[in-house]
Amino acid sequence: MSPSNHPVPWESAAYEIEEQFMKIASCGSRSLSHQDFEILRRIAGCQEYLTQENFEKLWCWLYPVACVISRDWINPIWDSISPKWIEGFITKEEAEASLQGPTGFQEPGTFILRFPTSRSWPHPDAGSLIVTYVVNDYGLDWINAPYRSGEIDRGMEKEDNQREGSTPTLYLTQSPVN
| pLDDT tens digit at each of 178 positions of the chain | 556 678 999 999 999 999 999 999 998 788 899 999 999 999 999 999 999 999 999 999 999 999 999 999 889 999 888 888 888 798 888 888 888 877 777 888 888 888 888 877 776 777 888 888 888 877 777 676 655 444 443 333 333 333 333 323 333 334 445 4
Contacts with 160 (C-beta within 8 Å, 6 or more apart), sequence order: none
Total Cβ atoms within 10 A of residue 120: 21
Return the closest-CA partner of residue 78 out of 44, 48, 109, 115.
115
Q: Please give the Cα distance from 56 to 38 (Å, whole number).
A: 16
Phi/psi for 39 (5° steps) reads -65, -45
pLDDT for 138 equals 74
- Residue 146 is given by DSSP the state S
Under 8 Å between Cβ of 40 and 62? yes
pLDDT in tens, 115-160: 888 877 776 777 888 888 888 877 777 676 655 444 443 333 333 3
| DSSP 8-state assignment for residue 175 | P
